[in-house]
Amino acid sequence: MSLPLTFYDLIVLRYVPVQLVFFYEYPHSKTHYIDSFLPKLKHSLSLTLQYFYPLAGNLTWPPESEKPIILYVNGDSVSLTIAESMNDFYHLSGDHSRDINESHSLVPHLPISDTVAPVLALQVTVFPNCGFSIGITMHHAAIDGQSLTRFIKAWASICRSGDSSSLSPDLLPFYDRTVIKDPSMLEKVYLEKLLKPTGLKTETECNNRSLLVLDRIAPPNAVRSTFKLSRADIERLRKQVLIRCDKDKQTRPLHLSTFVLTCAYVWGCLNRADPSKKINLFLFTADCRARLDPPIPITYFGNCLAARIISAETSDIIGEDGLAILGEAFSEAIRDLEGEVLRGMENASSAPEGPEAIFAVSWSNRFQVYKIDFGWGRPIKAEMITIDKLGTMSLFDGRDGDGGVEVGLTLNKQEMEVFTSIFANGLNDGN
């Protein structure tokens, strides 16, 4: 069985794989993990993959095919690595600043070559008498965060109940790709870009059908930290923007969601931490499923994202009215999404031109990963390892369930110290 890639998938064909890790507190012996925990987790994964069978397949680009496909053949499987760690579980699952390399062993490698690319790899790392982690590495061209989250939630549901027949319909994948319409011929645009030489030092120079991703190297001396914004923090930021807009007699309604306020606040703090960087561009993606005309099922399996880039002057970003200015800029971009979601998508696979630095957000607090319970409780921590290479921020729902959010960030150690101070002081001062 095979699934053709759509233009949404082709955009991210050569992107860095998505890597996530979830930490669960479960203080049991190694013997218990081997005899009870792991068999249940593996069996439920097998049952879940019967619904999500493309995840056990591979990306390939057959000579007779104009574009890559996800090919599933009977006998295909997902690589599941079982590891044991004697490292400090609570150190690795903490919010404090720590070396990014400490977590890299918790996510599996995805062995991508010119001709074949596995869709998914998983790793369970056991910390005896403390807990365990589930590491996920996913090829972005196969699915987006929405689809991946549904898979993880389906796996957790089956593991918790022990019965795959009781899986909720809102978790079952929808595979019909004929619902994806391409009136602007975006697929042709992306294929032409993909078939140009990439510069990869392999067969790619003469084989522009290569599936190799454009890997990136994490910055030296890098650390990762988690920052929290409570619901009360979000409300204070919203009030701050509304007061400023009221003074300026702003009449156009603003889209001051938790997502917008968090991204705007982090963007401002980053520029204050190092104004010389001039991070003038911010990229975010939005789910298109409900925005298309006609809408497609929310359970559609694959990528279905549109991107928008916001531009702002450094002086505005770090100025007294910075949060309000960025709030207005995000609101305008979101209005544009609601009007014509695919506008500008012909340039989506191209990097912005010019000297300005670009920042981006990965994942979404709407996915509610802190509700994912395999039967042994909810995660005590979720992290996105991908941000180490991409230089983006990750955004998760708050683990306390109070409407807050968690921001993951990777910076060099010195810059992280400055950012941490600015982030905290801005909330305390209301600036």
Q: Which residues contact 178 (CB under 8 A, 6 or more apart)?
A: none
The 3-class SS string of 377-406 reads CCCCEEEECCHHHHCCEEEEECCCCCCCEE
Amino acid identity for residue 117 in this structure? A
Q: List the catalytic residue out of 95, 274, 336, 373.
A: 373
CB 243 within 8 A of CB 321: no
Cα-to-chain-centroid distance, residue 119: 16
Q: List the catalytic residue out of 9, 139, 140, 287.
A: 140
Alpha-carbon distances, residue 123 vs 45, 78, 104, 250 (angstroms)? 12, 10, 12, 51
CB 101 within 8 A of CB 413: no
Q: ∠ CA 258-260-263 to the nearest 5 degrees? A: 105
CA distance 42 to 79: 11
Q: Which residue intervals of 51-169 are DSSP H helices?
A: 89-92, 101-104, 145-161
CB 24 within 8 A of CB 224: no
DSSP 33-57: IIIIIHHHHHHHHHHHHTTSGGGGS
Residue 114 DSSP code: S
Q: Phi, psi at residue 332, to the nearest 5°?
A: -65, -40
CA distance 125 to 133: 5
Q: Which residues contact 364 (CB under 8 A, 6 or more apart)?
A: 145, 259, 287, 395
Give the tokens for residue 373: 């319970």
CA distance 123 to 156: 15
Let me know if 373 is a catalytic residue: yes
Residue keyed to tokens 């095979």? 2
CA distance 147 to 177: 14
CB 339 within 8 A of CB 318: no
List active site positions: 140, 373
